[in-house]
Amino acid sequence: MYFFSEEERKYLLKKLIPKAREKGIAEDLRGWNWHSTELSPPHDIFLPVWEVSDRYCETGRDCYLRHVQKVSVPASEEMVTGRIYHQVMAELYPTAKRLIYSEGIGICTDLPQILMQRLPEAVIEAEEQLSKVKCMSEASRDVSGNLKKLWSFEVSRIVSSVYSYLGKYRYLSDDSLINHALPFVVEHKLDGQYLGLSSNLSADAINMGGMLICDLKTGPKRDFHRLSATGYALVYESLYEVPINIGCTVYLSFPKNHPTPHIERDFFIISDEIRQWFIEERDSKQDLIFYERDPGRCQNSGSCRYSEYCG
C-alpha cells in the first residue's frame, strides 16, 4: 500500500513537492518550535494522534465521556477489522526485511514462496480477534478472504520492487537493497510529549526516501482524515528538526468480486492551515478534559459507540 505508482511519483516530483516549496510553511508552525509558539500545549494532558484528529463525533463528546466520565465501551466491528489490516501490514514488511538481513540476498530467489507461507498465521490471528466481536456483519465475515487478497497483493509488490533493484545493480548489499526496495518504516514509534501528545505514538508508515508520512484508513473518505498524517509530521519535526511537507492518506477497500484490494491515495501539502486545524483540535480537546466541560451531544450519533450514553 505504500508503493507509489509511476504516475503518483511524477505528481509528487513535478507538482506537489515544488508547490510545497513555493508556498512555504510558517516557521511558527514547524514542529521544532513547540517550545516557543502556539504549538506548545495548554495543559499537561497527553492524547494520541487518532483522538485529536477524530471528528466522527462533531462535538467531541466521546472524548469527554472517555476521559472525564471514564466511560469504557468495546471496540466496534469496523475498528477491529481496521486494526487487523493495520497489523498485517505491520507484520509483512518487517518479515521481508528480516529474511533478507538474516539470510542474505540469496533468499530473494524464494522470497515469494516464503512470504506466502506466512499467510495462514495472519489469517488465524485475524479470526481469533474477530471471534470476540458479538455480532459480525457480512463484511466482517469476509475479512479472512480479504486478508488473503491483501497479503498476496503486497507480496507481489515487495517482490517486484526487490527484483527490480537486483536486476539493475550487480553488486548490492542487503542493507542497500532494503533501503532501495523497501524505503519506508511501518509503525514508526514517536514520542509526542513536546506537543501534548502520547509518548507512544505509531505512524503507519514513513517513506524515508521522500520524507513523507502515510496514514492508512479503511472507511469512507473524510476531510479530517488529513489531520492524522499532519499530527505525525508535527511530532517528527519536533523530534528530529527535519521538515515534513507532504502527507498521504491511504484508503484501503475490498470491492466485491475483485481479485485484489483497491487502494486510493490522497496526497496533500501539510500546509499552515491544516497544521493550525490540528493544533486547534488538540487545544479544544485538552480544554474539554481539563475543565471537565460537557460539549453536548452531536446531531448525527447513529453509529456512535457512545450513543447509549448520549441520551
Q: What is the pLDDT of residues 128-183, one digit of tens each?
A: 777 766 555 665 668 888 999 999 999 999 999 999 999 999 889 999 999 999 99
Q: What does the pLDDT read at residue 306?
A: 85
Calpha distance 126→52 (Å, rounded)? 28
Task: Give the phi and the psi of residue 124 in degrees, each rounded to 5.
Answer: -60, -45
DSSP count for the chain of H helices, then E strands: 12, 5
Sequence-ordered list of residues with C-beta below 8 angstroms from that of 67, at least 6 positions apart, any chain: 289
Q: What does the pLDDT read at residue 225?
A: 97
**Does the structure show a pLDDT above 90 at 195?**
yes
Q: What is the pLDDT of residues 213-254, one digit of tens each?
A: 999 999 899 999 999 999 999 999 999 999 999 999 999 999
Q: Give 304-309 contacts, CB < 8 A, sequence gap 24+.
A: 304/56, 304/57, 304/62, 305/62, 305/73, 305/74, 305/76, 306/57, 306/61, 306/62, 306/65, 306/71, 306/73, 309/65, 309/69, 309/71
What global pTM score does this model have? Answer: 0.93
Q: What does the pLDDT read at residue 118?
A: 87
